[in-house]
Amino acid sequence: MINVDGLSKSYGDFKAVDDISFMIRDGEITGLLGPNGAGKTTTLRMLSCYLSPDSGSIKVDEKNSAENSLDIKRMIGYLPESAPLYGDMMVYDYLKYVAELRGVTGEERISEVASICRIRDVMHKNINELSKGYKQRVGLAHAMMHDPDILILDEPTSGLDPIEIVEIRNLIKELGKKKTVILSTHILSEVEATCDRVIIINRGRIVADDSTENLQSAVKGDKDIILRVSGTDFSGLKEAVYGIDGVKNVASIDGEEFTSAVLTVDHQVEIRPELFRAAVQNNWVIYEMKQEHLSLENVFRELTTGGEDERVK
């Protein structure tokens, strides 16, 4: 269990993290979400004992970071932002070095970690020669080497291609079944895809802290349905769907060959069957009907408006 109480950190005049407190229970995947420059990296750096806080305390399993930083470092596996590994070292040499410093003996663990992170085929390459995705995976292997109970990952998927992102996310989810994982991101869909719990940070303060589902349903906002049909024009479509209960607004969007519209619908109402029946009645052909869950995005936008400016870290 990680207990953070009243944590603050300033760089000169700039307050990067301003009096934040939270608790992380064992076995959860927690996402630290916020715009760039919100204080995510600073928070994670303090959790990993790289930076020491100006005030406040971090307790990991009743061990205080100010006094037992070495013990805490032993419990944590940490992957810094963009994996700044020793570029002139070979992957194998690097992992061996980390294993030695972590007190991990035996080749088995190195090859085991390499298999989990799927870097076996690059073990004898220099880290500099690796693609960003492979480098990130080596970083992950570095963090997992001593089989820590807590994994702290700073923007684990930034700069990766879509396939690599999915792979890393699956890996994180797999790890999260047994371990406590804390990751930071500024990508909302990532939190929805991987995390059990979200802490939203803006301007160094926590603005929301709840389970992903709770946050999603907390905002009884609207959802959007994109509809593309043929066999009618926009005004005909508009007339027909306005009658359906729950539809708040119908707006035209560009469609090359179809009549396309965005329907704004009340969050709790399911209108897709009604839309289908309307299409059948009026002899339309539906080419696309897509519902977009924007609730978490709304939360994020509401809570962090004005916080988008990138500041010097």
Partner 1 sequence: MKGLNESLIIMRKELKGYFNSPIAYIVITVFLAFTGFFFFKDFFYYNQAEMRGLFQTLPLMLSFVVPAVTMKLFAEERQTGSFEILMTLPVSAWDAVLGKFFAGTVFAAVMLSPTLIYLVTVFLVGSPDPGPVIGGYIGAVFLAAAYTSIGLLTSSFTRNQIVSFIISWAACFLLWILDKVIIFLPAKLGFLSYLGSDFHFQNIARGIIDSRDLIYFASVCAISLMFTVKTIEERR
Which residue lies nearer to partner 1 by CB, 154 or 192? 154
- Cα separation, 17 vs 37, whole angstroms: 10
The residue ranges of DSSP E strands in 76-171, in sequence order, are: 76-79, 150-154
Which residue lies nearer to partner 1 by CB, 144 or 200? 144
141 contacts partner 1 (rule: CB under 8 A): no
Nearest distance from C-beta of residue 74 to partner 1, angstroms:
5
Angle at 267 between CA 266 and CA 273, to 5 degrees: 75
Which residue lies nearer to partner 1 by CB, 94 or 300? 94
Angle at 155 between CA 152 and CA 158, to 5 degrees: 150
Instruction: Write the binding mask 99 to 128 for partner 1: x where contact by CB under 8 A, - elsewhere.
Output: -xxxx-------------------------
CB–CB of 95/58 below 8 Å?
Answer: no
Helices (H) and strands (E) in the chain, counts: 11, 14
> Which of 8, 64, 82, 111 is close enough to bind partner 1 by CB under 8 A?
82
Which residue lies nearer to partner 1 by CB, 103 or 306? 103
DSSP tag of 61: T
> What tokens does 150 get?
């807590």
85 contacts partner 1 (rule: CB under 8 A): yes
48 contacts partner 1 (rule: CB under 8 A): yes
Which residue lies nearer to partner 1 by CB, 98 or 275? 98
Nearest distance from C-beta of residue 295 to partner 1, angstroms:
35
